[in-house]
Structure 1
Amino acid sequence: MSGSVGFAVDDGVATITLSNPVRRNAITIEMYGRLEELFGSVAQDPGIRALVLRGADGAFAGGTDIGHLRTITTGEEGVAYEAHMRRVQSALVGLDVPVVSVVDGACVGGGIVFAALSDIVLCTPSSRFGSPIARTIGNTLSPTSIARLSETFGRRAAAEMLFTARLFSAEEALRAGFVTDVAGPAALEERLAGILDAIRACAPLTLASFRRLWRRVDAALGDIERDDVFAGVYASRDFAEGVEAFLAKRAPVFRGE
Structure 2
Amino acid sequence: MVYQNIRTEDRGRIRYIIISRESKLNALNKDTLFELHIALGDALHNDHIGGLIITGAGAKAFVAGGDIAEFKGMDAEAGRNLAHENHKNIFNLIEGFSKPVVAAINGFALGGGLELAMACHIRIAADNAKMGLPEVTLGLIPGYGGTQRLTNLIGKGKALELIMTADMITAAEAYQLGLVNHVVSQDHLMGKAEEILQKIITKAPLAIAAAITAVNAAGTADGFETEIEEFAKCFNTNDYKEGVAAFLEKRKPVFKGK
Higher mean alpha-carbon deviation, 180-189 vs 106-115, is at 180-189
TM-score normalized by the length of structure 2 = 0.78
**Does structure 1 conserve the Cα–Cα contact (< 8 Å) formed by 2:100 and 2:197?**
no
Structure 1 segment 101-250 matched on structure 2, within 5 A: 101-135=103-137, 137-142=138-143, 144-217=145-218
| CA displacement 1:4-62 (0-9 Å, x = unmatched) | 11112221111110121222111111000111111111221222111100001121001
- Note the C-alpha offset of 1:129: 0.6
Return the alpha-carbon distance in structure 2 between the equivalents of residues 187 and 78 of structure 1: 38
Deviation, structure 1 residue 214: 2.9
1:179 deviation in Å? 1.0
Q: Is the 8 Å Cα contact of residues 104 and 124 (structure 1) preserved in structure 2?
A: yes
Q: CA RMSD in A?
A: 2.1
Q: Could you say what secondary structure the match of 2:123 adopts?
A: strand
- TM-fit CA distance, 1:217: 4.1
* Offset of residue 143 of structure 1: 7.9
Q: Please tell me the residue identity of whatever aligns with 2:117.
A: A
User: Counterparts of 2:154 and 2:218 in 1: how far apart (Å)?
Assistant: 18
Aligned 8 A contact 2:136 2:164 in 1: yes
Find the residue that maps to 1:174 and give its secondary structure. helix
Unaligned runs of 5+ in 1: 221-257
SS at match of 1:60: strand
Q: How does 1:63-102 map to 2 (within 5 A)?
A: 63-72=65-74, 74-87=75-88, 88-102=90-104
Map of 1:60 onto structure 2: 62
In 2, Cα distance between equivalents of 1:80 and 1:121: 28
Counterpart of 1:107, as a letter, is A
Q: Secondary structure of the equivalent of 1:191?
A: helix
Q: Distance in 2 between matches of 1:24 and 1:8?
A: 20
Report the equivalent of 1:18.
19
Q: CA–CA distance in 2 between the matches of 1:187 and 1:9?
A: 18
Q: Does the 8 Å contact 2:103/2:117 carry over to 1?
A: yes
Q: Which runs of 5+ in 2 are unaligned?
A: 222-258
| Greater Cα shift, 24-33 or 77-86 | 77-86
Partner Cα distance (1:188, 1:57) in 2 = 13
SS at match of 2:176: helix
Secondary structure at 1:64 match in 2: coil
Post-superposition offset of 1:145: 2.8
Count of aligned residue pairs for this structure pair: 218
Report SS of the residue matched to 2:8: strand
Contact 1:9 1:15 in 2 (8 A): yes
Q: Is the 8 A contact 1:153 1:173 kept in 2?
A: no
Residue 107 of structure 1, CA deviation: 0.3
Letter of the structure 1 residue corresponding to residue 8 of structure 2:
F
Q: Which structure has the larger Rg?
A: 2
Deviations 1:66-85 (A, max 9, x none): 1111141x211111111222
